[in-house]
Amino acid sequence: MNAKVSAAGAKADIGRALRVGVIGAGVMGSNHARVLAGLPGVLLIGIVDPLPEHRTRAIDLVGCRAFESLDQLFAEGIDAVTIAAPTHLHHEIALACIARNIHILVEKPVASTVEEGREIVAAAERAGVTLMVGHVERFNPAVAAIKQAISGEDILSIGITRVGPFPPRMSNVGVVIDLAVHDIDLIRWFTESDIVEVQPQLSSAVAEREDIALLQFRTASGVLAHINTNWLTPFKARNVTVATRGKYVMGDLLTRQVTECFGFKPDGSYSMRHLPVGHDEPLRAELIAFLDAVRGDKLPAVSGDEGVASLEIAIRCLESPARPAASTMRKGPRRIAG
């Protein structure tokens, strides 16, 4: 009860600057600190990382204080944190923050396992603190334009390509957790429906974990979706296509160009137009949304439950046995729906 009162008090106290910390001074954490340092109504207390080289980089980039341990940050008194530490540490760090009534944004994926993710969600609910999951792609202006374009439409299919070269940073996860979880979240968000069927095809061509993934899904609303992701492409590509009964929307998430085809005629002709797309930095928009939720102005843009649901589907992709190629082969031309 005291925890909930304390958290509610923090949300109600909108007249002062929020004291915010960042946990993890890698590339993402350093960017969190950079953005937070420039936001009005925010006092960036510092960034935590056990590695001296990471702390030095954060100090050079942001000019903020850097701490070696969580306890040092906690001792400064903070209202909220963003957690950009390695995924296997999310559970421990999140619970430690929640126990101190500190509001948290946890980078995707929310945790290493579904069970750990659910424990974080349950702890945040008991304490009455804000929990948001960092699925930053939702805040890409091109994604927002696609979402608006298909609002109210009868969606038939979604195709997403997210490919690029092998990341220079060492990682203990493959492309499904590192990349595809972004697009699993987008499919659920676009359709506003749960994913009920998963058909993955995975391969490890040059890495220890899967570096190629072709994933097929069906949502509860009947939408067919697929994700093509790999670490073998020499350049980055981020493309989304959505087919509805009334239009076909194409979006390039890197160039932020979104095109809509509509007005289909019996003779095969149609009209095409480019949609307006904003210029906001996705990470800045995400952090503002988190701080708005902390202040009590809005609900978290990506709830803990949503983060756990996307993680659960990603893990199902890794656990589901691939079907033998012979069982999926067809003879003759395929009929294309939509």
Yes or no: say if 240 and 146 are a contact pair by the CB < 8 Å rule: yes
**pLDDT tens-digit profile, the chain (338 residues):** 344 444 444 454 556 899 999 999 999 999 999 999 999 999 999 999 999 999 999 899 899 999 999 999 999 999 999 999 999 999 999 999 999 999 999 999 999 999 999 999 999 999 999 999 999 999 999 999 999 999 999 999 999 999 999 987 756 789 999 999 999 999 999 999 999 999 999 999 988 899 999 999 999 999 999 999 999 999 999 999 999 999 999 999 999 999 999 999 999 999 999 999 999 999 999 999 999 999 998 999 999 999 999 999 999 999 965 544 433 333 333 333 33
Q: Regarding the domain delimited by 18-135, which CATH topology (the fold level of the hierarchy) does it fall under?
A: Rossmann fold (3.40.50)
Which 3 state secondary structure label does DSSP give 312? helix
Q: H helices within 51-210, ranges in order?
A: 52-62, 70-74, 90-98, 114-127, 141-149, 175, 181-191
Q: Regarding the domain delimited by 137-279+302-319, which CATH topology (the fold level of the hierarchy) does it fall under?
A: Dihydrodipicolinate Reductase; domain 2 (3.30.360)
Cα gap 305→135, rounded to integer Å: 13
Question: Which residue ranges make up each domain of the chain?
Answer: 18-135, 137-279+302-319
DSSP annotation of 320: S
Q: Report yes or no on whether pTM surpasses 0.85.
A: yes
Phi first, then psi, for residue 178 (nearest 5°) are -75, -40
| Fold match, 18-135 / 137-279+302-319 | no
Widest distance between CA atoms in the chain: 70
